[in-house]
């Protein structure tokens, strides 16, 4: 079944999270996987993220105590890390989405990469495929015009908001590919708002 592409809009809010994990794949609930846990340590307006993006002391109660999957308690030597993200919501349902774990078909504007390269509408659109993230406005690895910045290796038409996003080779483009994407094990097209099944 093809995957519907849906747009994710920034909510103006961000979160800061803390994680603990083991470096060895010893989780009893997920063989071959690492014990880990992540919790939201702060959420609020985007512009306040920087002030709240602070590594908590080891004694801070927000650090998770147990593995999310098997419940094993973290010992003192378990690793710690922190991270942050912008909170986005599906334009179609309003549901909040974690872009790191977004379902296939999620599409967003990576505004933080716009300066580097953007598409015709000034946005830098990313689409989650079954094989990973497809940065549509980026340069294809097999671009045949590597010194030309005016063309796009993938040409976008339409908009992700209304299901008309379409990617092909109709426009100022190079000889790379046929407008399809290879992402991990996935090879497919984005046609009329849907990622094809792949092949």
Is 174 an interacting residue with respect to Zn ion (CB under 5 A)?
yes
Closest separation in Å from C-beta 175 to Zn ion: 8
| Binder among 43, 69, 89, 104 for Zn ion (CB under 5 A) | 69
Minimum CB distance to Zn ion smaller for 110 or for 143: 143
Indicate the DSSP class of residue 148.
-
Q: Tell me which residue of 127, 126, 133 sits closest to 112, measured CA to CA.
A: 126
Is 155 an interacting residue with respect to Zn ion (CB under 5 A)?
no
Minimum CB distance to Zn ion smaller for 54 or for 157: 157
| Binder among 41, 97, 143, 190 for Zn ion (CB under 5 A) | 143
Distance CA 126, CA 110 (A): 7
* Subset of residues 71 to 130 that bind Zn ion, contact rule: CB under 5 A: 72
| Binder among 37, 41, 67, 107 for Zn ion (CB under 5 A) | 67
| Binder among 25, 39, 66, 70 for Zn ion (CB under 5 A) | 70
Closest separation in Å from C-beta 26 to Zn ion: 7
Minimum CB distance to Zn ion smaller for 125 or for 153: 153
Minimum CB distance to Zn ion smaller for 72 or for 187: 72
DSSP for 25-90, please give it.
Answer: ---SSSTTS--EEEEEEEEEEGGGHHHH--PPPTT-TTS--B-TTT-PBPPTTSEEEEEEEEEEEE
The 8 Å CB, 24+ separation contacts for 153-160 are: 153/177, 154/179, 154/181, 155/179, 156/119, 156/120, 156/125, 158/192, 158/193, 159/7, 159/121, 160/5, 160/6, 160/7, 160/107, 160/125, 160/127, 160/193
Minimum CB distance to Zn ion smaller for 51 or for 76: 76
* Subset of residues 5 to 64 that bind Zn ion, contact rule: CB under 5 A: 27, 35
Contact footprint for Zn ion (CB under 5 A): 27, 35, 67, 69-70, 72, 143, 153, 174
């Amino acid at each position: 079944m093809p995957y519907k592409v849906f747009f994710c809009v920034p909510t103006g809010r961000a979160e800061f999270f803390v994680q603990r994990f083991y470096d060895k794949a010893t989780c009893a609930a997920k063989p071959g996987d690492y014990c880990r846990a992540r919790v939201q340590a702060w959420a609020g307006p985007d512009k306040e993220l920087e002030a709240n993006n602070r590594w908590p002391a080891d004694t801070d109660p927000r650090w998770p105590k147990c593995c999310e999957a098997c419940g094993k308690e973290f010992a003192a030597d378990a690793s710690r890390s922190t991270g942050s993200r912008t909170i986005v919501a599906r334009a179609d349902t309003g549901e909040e989405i974690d872009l790191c774990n977004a379902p296939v078909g999620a599409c967003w504007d990576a505004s933080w990469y716009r300066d580097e390269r953007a598409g015709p509408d000034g946005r830098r659109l990313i689409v989650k495929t079954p094989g990973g993230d497809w940065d549509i406005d980026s340069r294809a690895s097999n671009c045949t015009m590597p010194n030309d910045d005016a063309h796009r290796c993938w040409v976008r038409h339409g908009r992700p908001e209304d299901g008309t996003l379409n990617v092909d080779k109709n426009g100022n483009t190079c000889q790379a590919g046929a407008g399809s994407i290879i992402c991990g094990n996935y090879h497919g097209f984005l046609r009329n708002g849907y990622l094809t099944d792949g092949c």
